[in-house]
Amino acid sequence: MRERVLVAGSTGYLGRFMIKELKERGYWIKALCRNKEKIQLVGHYVDELFIAKATNPDTLNGLCRGIDCVFSSLGITKQKEGFTYMDVDYQANRNILDQALAERVSKFIYVSVLNADKIKHLQIVKAKERFCEELRGSDVEYLIIRPNGFFSDIGQVFKMAQRGTVYLLGSGEYPGNPIHGQDLAQACVDHLDLASGEVDIGGPEILSQNEIAAQAFEVLGKKEKILHFPLLAAKLFLKVIRSVTSVKTYGPLEFFLTVLTMDMIAPRYGTHTIRQYFTELRNGKAM
């Protein structure tokens, strides 16, 4: 059993579940974070806090001292701070890997995205996969986790339903099995001792986007209203924003517009259903 784990991305949706899961399974945890306030929710599970900016390698000296395994879910999702995906998803993770290699850490686990080979033209995927390539080519044993969409993002469908209308792209019939952060964290810890490789991870239920939207309305007790935005219009929109905005603006949009118009199915893990999650959101109890 690997005993001392560094969690990077510790203040994020997945990182928080990861810290809780690792603690419950008896691991010693160091958390990398840049803002002490943000780790409060899970701070009591953390054995050592390392406050630093992963984008600035000068602040990372000693980060991996005494560490057996690094887990990184560090990346840009909604942060709007002027950093690009290359600065964070690639370079900040590269900075952490350099520390791990210097301290001869025995394993590095990195969270990328599902189906990266089909969407490698997207800016976020380019940055993540550049890091994956360097991780594979390094001396450290590695594991690349490729998860499906997180429930935290599916929460957007619930918010639209609360406002009265859910907007979907195309037919809304693309199937997928998004995953709850707790289920994903459990699956990540289950795979901690796996030999070097890559693993796709999805949630327990395969649903179309129409079915997910219908469940949101059902949980809210509201009349279903789903508007389907034509695919061609979405493609044109993407073309325009790519030419008039920077990657910081169009990057997240191109990612979501693309993954929402393809089948996203991964091996099934976990037990949390979307209906349960929507019910927790309705009751103000979702993590």
Ligand X SMILES: NC(=O)c1ccc[n+]([C@@H]2O[C@H](COP(=O)([O-])OP(=O)(O)OC[C@H]3O[C@@H](n4cnc5c(N)ncnc54)[C@H](OP(=O)(O)O)[C@@H]3O)[C@@H](O)[C@H]2O)c1
Contact residues toward ligand X (CB under 6 A) are: 9-15, 34-35, 38, 53-55, 73-79, 81, 83, 88, 92, 111, 113, 147, 149-150, 152-153
Residue 111 to residue 146: CA distance in whole angstroms: 6
145: region left, alpha or beta (phi > 0 left; psi from -120 to 50 alpha): beta
Nearer to ligand X, 12 or 172 (CB): 12
Query: In whole angstroms, how close is the CB of 54 to ligand X at the nearest point?
Result: 5
Nearer to ligand X, 79 or 165 (CB): 79
Query: In whole angstroms, how close is the CB of 178 to ligand X at the nearest point?
Result: 7
Query: In whole angstroms, how close is the CB of 234 to ligand X at the nearest point?
Result: 19
Nearer to ligand X, 222 or 257 (CB): 257
Q: How far is CA 51 from the centre of its chain?
A: 21
Nearer to ligand X, 69 or 89 (CB): 89
Phi first, then psi: give them for residue 209, nearest 5 degrees.
Answer: -65, -35
Nearest CA to 176 out of 255, 268, 110, 257 is that of 268
Q: What sign does the dihedral 191-194-198-200 (CA atoms) show? A: negative
Residue with CB nearest ligand X?
Answer: 12
Residue 140 to residue 118: CA distance in whole angstroms: 27
Query: In whole angstroms, how close is the CB of 16 to ligand X at the nearest point?
Result: 8
Query: In whole angstroms, how close is the CB of 4 to ligand X at the nearest point?
Result: 20
* Lookup: tokens for 62: 């000693």
**Residue 144: its H or E element:** strand 141-147
Nearer to ligand X, 28 or 83 (CB): 83
